[in-house]
Amino acid sequence: MEQLILTLFLALFTLEFLIEFGLNELNLRHVRACWDSKELPDLFTGKMTADEYDKSVQYTVASGRFQRWSEVYDRLITLVILFAVLGSLDRFAGTVAQSFSLGWYGHGIIFCLAVGLVFIATSLPTDLYATFGLEAKFGFNKTTVRLFVADKLKGLVLGLLIGVPFLFVVLWLMQAMGDYWWLWAFAFITACQFLMIVIFPTFIAPWFNKFETLKEGEFRERILALANQIGFATSGIFTMDGSKRSAHSNAYFTGIGKAKRIVLFDTLIEQMTMDQGLAVLAHEMGHYKMKHIRRMLVVQAIFLFIGLYLLSMLLKAPAFFNAFGLTSSNHAALVLFSLVSGPATFFLGPLMNRLSRKHEYEADHFAAMTLRDGKPMEEALVNLTVKNLSNLYPHPWYSAYHYSHPTAVERISAIRQTVP
Ligand SMILES: [Zn+2]
């Protein structure tokens, strides 16, 4: 039985690696081949200079090369942690808990935190290179070393403040609620997610960024008029100093019900015309209006429900633990399950991306219909593509697998087809 579990896991793990590694190579080759022909897509002629196109290809190639090695590195790290580190971490957590008389829960929480720390530490090299190597080379990175360190420390503190009580409750439910603990855990985790949606914008996000209400003026008036026209209740429009970390631009809204906030990155306001910015907002409100966000939350909740049920089954199978050299315990089950479930369900990623791309088309359509004009949305898409040096020619298999958004060319063509 142990042998079977191990073989199955390694087979899926390898399959996922081969698919992702292969797709990346395919994509790199495709981008270079398109570049050799030196032709911009029709939609971009006159909107992107040859220089910008060259730069976007270089950025794509550099990212792809980085992905090639980080993929290999991440896989190796995961295997080492799974087969060589988890067992000793568990014993270490047990010893620490014992010497401070922290009991079972202490043991479990220390173990989970230690695993988390090991993952943070091992991802530092790729993290540092991505920020200060790759992104900096193409002029995107604005993060200073000081800010990078501060962000990591704040993340750790937050992880402790939220993670410790959270783990305590989950471990307690597993211990105290009998066979149906997973139903209780499901209710608890779902409630926590809702709580996070409510407290994130007002209590957590301001710790990392400065938020200011968008100053009075034409832009603000037009956004409010748009929200009014769509029937989008909002508690305010804010700008965020995204430029302190990166030159990439964005806009989003957070919160639920009437407490929704619209957040615009300062980079977006700087890089876009008012019409384009408004189109981006109409697109975002479209996601809300068409219940995309709610639907995604429901899908995630279903996955969580099934996952927790499976976990409750695995908890009763000592072979699952033995296969990875661990003794069965609630905390080992949590960690093991979160590490193993990725490779076991990797095919769900592309399916979710497919759903997400469908939502993007719908939100684009919504924006164009609301503004009674497809042009601003098209221009915003071109603008975003050029400024972010996005890959104009991803390999179709690569984008089908990885892209949560269709390419700008696909989106603009769709707008032209469906908007009169
Ligand atoms: Zn969208």
Domain residues of the chain, as ranges?
209-271
Q: How far is the CA of 91 from the centre of ligand 1 (A)?
A: 46
Token couple for 186: 């499901």
Token couple for 8: 């199955």
Confidence band, pLDDT 50/70/90 cuts, at residue 419: confident
Q: How far is the CA of 288 from the centre of ligand 1 (A)?
A: 10
pTM, two decimals, is 0.87
**pLDDT at residue 262 greater than cutoff 90:** no
Distance CA 209, CA 152 (A): 14
Q: How far is the CA of 250 from the centre of ligand 1 (A)?
A: 10
Q: How far is the CA of 281 from the centre of ligand 1 (A)?
A: 10
Q: How far is the CA of 282 from the centre of ligand 1 (A)?
A: 10
Confidence band, pLDDT 50/70/90 cuts, at residue 221: very high
Of 135, 360, 364, 378, which is the active-site residue?
364
Distance CA 71, CA 124 (A): 14
Of 16, 90, 135, 284, which is the active-site residue?
284
pLDDT in tens, 368-380: 999 999 999 999 9
Model pLDDT, residue 307: 94
Q: How far is the CA of 264 from the centre of ligand 1 (A)?
A: 14
Contact 324, 336 (CB under 8 A): yes
pLDDT in tens, 77-119: 999 999 989 989 999 999 998 899 888 899 999 999 999 999 9
**pLDDT at residue 418 greater than cutoff 90:** no
pLDDT, mean of residues 288-294: 89
Query: Residue 284 catalytic?
Result: yes
AA identity, residue 209: N
Please state which architecture CATH assigns to domain 209-271: 2-Layer Sandwich (3.30)
